[in-house]
Amino acid sequence: MSNQPTTCTIDEADRKAIVKRRFDVWDMRLYSLGIITFIAVSSLSAASHIGGLKQSMMPYVRPLAVLLGIEQSWQVFAPDPRRMNLHNSAVITFQDGSMKMYEFPRMDLIKGWERFRLGDRQRKLFDEWMSEPRGEPYRSDLARYLVQCNENPLNQPVLVSNVFNFVNLSEPSDRFVQKLTEVPAHRSKSVYFVFQVRRTDFLP
């Protein structure tokens, strides 16, 4: 078999090539409509992140952006500035009326290797998600876990209340720098979830 490349004239190549149908008017209109829709949704998606428009536009624009695969999140590179320091805790109420407070892991109090080991996974769940709507699916299971950790046949838990603890931060200023060791305690509190313990919540 010869290793010489096959050569042919332009006319021969045209006859051997796959002939594709040329775009007609309706093809051009369809593709133009797709391009215009993409640009319009992209522009609306970008505009919907503007502070004053975010609440009103986002519910309508986001489904379209997800459908077209153009939704983007820049939170990794430019997260919103923190407006408060916070942590979550739970208050366990027992049959005799006594109470016990459980504090979820706090990244600001954990040092060294433990902080590196726990990392953002627990911070995301226990600090940023628990008190927000996206954390709602986890609340019952976490409350049930606390109930089972505090079982006592003589004085069983009857109620678990999740508490949001926070303190608002002052606006950034070049005249005042808040030292990390002087950050105020999270004195403001708000109960955002109450779990009524049932018989089935205890370990079998």
Distance (Å) of CA 192 to CA 124, 162, 185: 17, 6, 20
Sign of CA dihedral 112, 74, 164, 178: positive
pLDDT of residue 176: 75
pLDDT of residue 79: 66
* Mean pLDDT, rounded, of the chain: 83
Residue 193 has pLDDT above 90, yes or no: yes
SS (H, E, C) 60-112: HHHHHHHHHCCCCCCCCCCCCCCCEEEEEEEEEEECCCCEEEEECCCCCCCCH
Residue 51 has pLDDT above 60, yes or no: yes
pTM above 0.85, yes or no: no
Give the tens place of pLDDT for each residue, 167-179: 988 877 777 777 7
How does DSSP classify residue 199? Answer: G
Stretch 43-65: mean pLDDT, rounded? 75
- Burial of residue 96 (number of CB atoms within 10 Å: 0-12, 13-18, 19+): exposed
Report domain extents, the chain. Answer: 10-68, 84-201
Contact 138, 193 (CB under 8 A): no
Contact 145, 186 (CB under 8 A): no
Q: How confident is the model at residue 98 (pLDDT cuts 50, 70, 90)?
A: very high
Share of the chain above pLDDT 70, in %: 89
- Please, which residues have CB within 8 angstroms of residue 27's CB and are 6 or more apart in sequence? none
Can you name the residues that pair with 162 across neighbouring β-strands?
Answer: 90, 193
Give the whole-angstrom CA distance, residue 151 versus residue 147: 6
Q: How confident is the model at residue 164 (pLDDT cuts 50, 70, 90)?
A: very high
